[in-house]
Structure formats: structure tokens, C-alpha cells
Structure 1
Amino acid sequence: MTRYALVTGASSGIGLAMAEALARRGRNLILVSRHRDMLESIALEFTQRFGVEVLFRACDLGEPLRLSGFLLELEEGERQIDLLVNCAGIGNSGPFLAQEWAQEQDLLDLNVLALTRLCHTVGNLMAVQGGGQILNVASIMGFQPGPWMSTYAASKAYVLHFSEGLREELKKTGVKISVLCPGPTRTSFFRTAQLNADKFTDDKTMTAEEIALYTVRALDKNRAIIIPGRRNRFLAQLPRLTGRWMARKIWGSILKSRTSA
């Protein structure tokens, strides 16, 4: 039976870079994103360049009914998924009380609920077939409070802790769980999250392609927590080095000064 890697958020950023890194290794892909035209173009390009089978599904995973329909397709389908890359996610910034609640709910629906439901459905499919691997994408923000990005940071803390817990639970099923915690990356995230990219990035900031290359190698080693870049590994340790009260103040000062608003 043909095996596939399922990548969400695959039309841009780290999701697209992960899909390309896997295609380079000869992996057949199922790509998921809201943007059908972009997925169609990516699927054609990867098929031609790498000689792999690339299927795609345009779906807004943050909408519960559409997510349920997609999950039902996976459960009733005959394609075997041995790698799930949960990369779909959104961010926002600014004072929590000033945010439109609909935007906050969209973030939680996608970053938390959709990721968890995908892990539940695909994890069960993998357990039945005797194993597989799941990579959830969090952030170094998951290690500390993020004033002025409070909901986003909390959602990534959930992904981090959920993934670590799931890793222990599923050991005997043969399903391996890893969590990727990148730092600032050269993607469109800053624009969509209303952050000033120039204040977050410099010539040492990793690209999505560098993140993906590091990550696929770490997956080969079944690493539990994947933090690409020495600077990012230091930032992840900041609350331990300074204390959480100081980390709140440091990150609050940084993030407040770097919102686009």
C-alpha cells in the first residue's frame, strides 16, 4: 500500500518547506491548505521535480464542519498516512482586550482544536496500522508567557505540552510524536500577525527551508522537542535563567514595542 505524508498549512512558510524537504526524499504527499490554486501549482511542481505522487485538499481546518468532513475522508479512505505534519496555524498581536473575539476564536480553533482533532483521528489510524509519526509545530513562544501575543503564545504552549504528553502515551502503539519549536523565521507570519518583521529578523534569522532541513533530520532521530538554531535554544531556556516573572517583563517589553500598530 502506498504511504503518504500529510502536511497541513502546506501552501506557504514552514509547511511548504517541510513538504518540499519530504518530496526531495521521495515521500508521497497529501497537502492541505485553504488556497486551492497554490496547492495545485505546488503539487504539479513537486510531481515534475521529484517524481512523487502529490495529492491535495483545499480545506479551512479552522472551520469545524469542514474539518469534520476532511477527517471523515481520511477515516473512510484507503490511503495510508505514516507521517502527519501539523503546520497550519495563525497568529495575532496587540492588547488582548482590543482584539475582535472572532479573530481570537479563529486562532484557537486552528492552532489548538484542529491540531488536536487531527492528532486524534490520524493517531488512531496510525495505531491500527502499527505505527507512524506525528510532528506538531509549536514555537519558542510556547516556553514562556507572551504579553501582547498572549493567545498565540498560550496556543503554542498547549501544542508543546500536548505533544510531550502524547509522546509518552503512544509509545507502545508505535506512533512517534515530536514537536517543532522554531524561533522567528523568514516567512509571511509577521505580516499576518501584524508584527514588524524588520524588528524581529536579521541576517542570522533562519529561513523556512533551513528549519525544514533541520527538522527532517531530527525526525529521523525521533527527537521529542526540535528547536532549530542555537539562539532559539537559548531563548527557549530564558524563563529558567531569569525566572518566569522576569521573562514576562522581558517578552512583554519586546512584543509591545514590535507590533506593527
Structure 2
Amino acid sequence: MSRYALVTGATSGIGLALAEALARRGRNLLLVARHREALEAIAAELAQRFSVEVLIRACDLSKPIQLTGLLMELEEGTYSIDLLVNNAGLGTSGAFVAQDWLQEQQLIEVNMLALARLCHSVGNVMAGQGNGQILNVASVAAFQPGAWMANYYASKAYVLHLSEALREELKEHGVGVSVLCPGPTRSAFFRKAALDDRRLASSKLMMSAEEVALATVRALDKNRAIIIPGWRNRLLAFSPKLAPRWLVRKISARINRRFLAHH
């Protein structure tokens, strides 16, 4: 049976870059995203360029019925998944209580609930097989609270902590779990989250999605627990440990407020 790397949110940004980096290494892919036309175009290109098999599934992970359908298909064992990449994620910005609740709920459903369900389902199969890898995509935001992006920061903290815990639980079953915590990355994320990234454009913190993906696949080879591409981003991730929590909260809030597109 052919083995596949399953990548969610595979039509843009880090997800697309990871799919390409894996295909370049000869990995067969199962790409999951909302938009079928985009998936079809990407699958055709990757299959042609790298001579790998690329399957697609159009699925909105914020819709429980669609997610359940995908999980049932995976649990039936039609495909053997040896790498699960939970990359799909949403961001929102602004005062939490002023947000449209349906958007905030959608963020929770994609960033946390869908990720957890995929880890639970695919991780269970991997544990039974005695091998496999899971990569969950969090953010440097996971290491601190973030006013004006409160729900997003909190969701990434959940991903970080869940991933670290699962790593300990699953290692005795031969399954590796890693968590990717990138810093600012050139992608459509800022626009979709209503953030103004012009001030970050020339920042040395900013990396391309391709740079992040290359660093990630290399770290996966070494089964790294926490992957933070770029030394500046590693410093950014661990600096909150050096300051009192009240100061971390205030600094994070001040920085985030500067990037609100409508501010």
C-alpha cells in the first residue's frame, strides 16, 4: 500500500511550501483544503514536477460533518498515512469582545478542534502500526498571551502544549510528534487576519514560507520536538521566560495593536 503525507491547508503559505518540500523528497501526498480548484492545480503541478502521487480532498475543517467524513475515510484504511501535517489555521485581530463570534468559533474549530481530532484519529492508527510522524503547526505566538489577537494566541498555545504532551504519550508506540512554531512568514495570513504587515516587510524576523518549510523538513528528519526556524525567532519565542508575566502581556498587546489594519 502506498504511503502518504497528509497536509492540511495545503493551497497557500507554509502548507503549500511544505507540500512542495515533501514532494521534492519523493513523498506521495494527500492534500486537504477548502478550495477544490486550487487543490487540483497544485496537485497537477507537484505530480508533474516531482513524479509523485498527489491525492486531494476538498474539506472545510470548520464544518464538523465534512471533517467527520474525512476522518471516516482515513480510518477505513484506504490510505496509509505516515506523516500528518496539521497546518490549516485561521487568525483574527481586534478586541475579542468586538469580534464576530462566528469567526472566533471558526478559528477554534480549525486551529484546535480539527487538529485535535486528526491527531486523535490518525495518531491512533499510527500507534497501532508502530510508526509515523505528526507535525502540528503552532506559532511563536504560542509562548505568550497576545491581546488584540487573544483567541489566535490562545489557540496556538493549545497546539504547542497538546503536541508536547502527545510526543511523550506516543513515543513508546514509535510515533514522533513535532510542533512547528514559525515567526512572521510571508503569506496571505496577515491579510486574512486583517493585519497590516507593512512594518514587518523589511524585518529580519520575516521569513519566506519556503525557508520555513526547508528548515522544518530538516528538523523532522531529526525528530525535533519544537521547531522554530530562524535564530531571531527562537530568541523571540523564549524571551517571555525572562520577563514577568505582567510585562510580557503589556509588550505583546502594544506590539499587536500597532499591526491592526484599521488602527
Q: TM-score, normalised by structure 1?
A: 0.99
Give the superposition deviation at 1:199: 2.1
Deviation (angstroms), 1:203: 5.2
Report the Cα offset of residue 78 of structure 1: 2.3
Q: Give 1:84-233 correspondences, 5 Å limit.
A: 84-202=84-202, 204=204, 205-233=206-234
Consecutive unaligned residues in structure 2, runs of 5 or more: none
In structure 1, list runs of 5 or more residues that go unmatched: none
Which stretch shows the higher mean deviation, 162-171 or 199-208? 199-208
Moved over 4 A (4+): none
Q: Is the 8 A contact 1:143 1:236 kept in 2?
A: yes
The separation in 2 between residues aligned to 1:129 and 1:201, in whole angstroms, is 44
1:189-231 deviations in Å (ceiling 9; x for gaps): 0000000011233253110000000000000000000000111
Per mean C-alpha deviation after superposition, the further-off stretch among 18-27 and 200-209 is: 200-209
- Could you tell me how far apart the structure 2 residues matched to 1:88 and 1:138 are? 10
Task: Give the secondary structure class of the aligned counterpart of 2:156.
Answer: helix
* Other structure's SS at 2:261 match: coil
Match of 1:35 in 2: 35
Aligned length: 261
C-alpha separation between the residues in 1 aligned to 2:130 and 2:238? Answer: 36
Which digits, 9 at most, give the CA deviation of each residue in 1:79-104, with x for residues without a partner?
Answer: 11000000000000000110011011
Is 1:239–2:206 an aligned residue pair?
A: no
Contact 1:238/1:247 (CA < 8 Å) preserved in 2? no
* Counterpart secondary structure, 1:237: helix
Normalised by the size of structure 2, how large is the TM-score? 0.98
Residue in 2 aligned with 1:259?
A: 260
Partner of 1:59: 59
Kept in 2: contact 1:185–1:201 (CA 8 A): no
What is the distance in 1 between the residues matched to 2:145 and 2:239? 11
Q: Percent identity over the alignment?
A: 66
Which one-letter code corresponds to 1:210 in the other structure? E
